[in-house]
Homo-oligomer: A and B are copies of this chain.
Amino acid sequence: MSDLTGRLRRESRKITGPRAAILEILHAHPHPLTSREILAALPKDHCDLATVYRSMHLLETMGMVKRYHFHDGAARFELVGEGDDGHHHHLVCVNCSGVVEIAECFPDEIQKRIAQKNGYKNVTHKLEFFGTCPDCQR
């Protein structure tokens, strides 16, 4: 947690109450959360939704959180470890929205081939899996 605030300080950003609280929430949650969910999880409902949005934007540009998009329109955020680049994928239940973290990734050789074949540089990917979780299969 102190390493998180350290990263903020290093870029001359203030360590404010809302930010510390948001980082706590993200730290305590293993899965992507929407800005609204973060706000709801915040103790004492003490900051504005706009502040959550602004915080997520800042943390994202600092590489401290990753943004994900599942089936609904809302963005979801997950904390990224200090060294880690945070790249990974999810398996989402189309019925209950339950999320499973996935270790597998798109094969790098294939991605390299795609990049080269089309002359694109710095190619990355967004990949999410969708299906029906055990609980939702009747």
Contacts and interface: CB of A to CB of B under 8 A. Distances in A.
23 contacts: A69-B69, A91-B115, A91-B123, A100-B118, A104-B110, A106-B106, A107-B107, A111-B129, A115-B129, A115-B131, A118-B134, A119-B133, A119-B134, A120-B129, A120-B133, A121-B132, A123-B130, A124-B130, A125-B128, A125-B129, A126-B126, A126-B128, A126-B130
Interface in A39-78: 69, 73
Identical subunits present: 2
Contact of A114 (B104, B111, B137): B104
A100 B73 CA distance: 24
Contacts of A119: 133-134
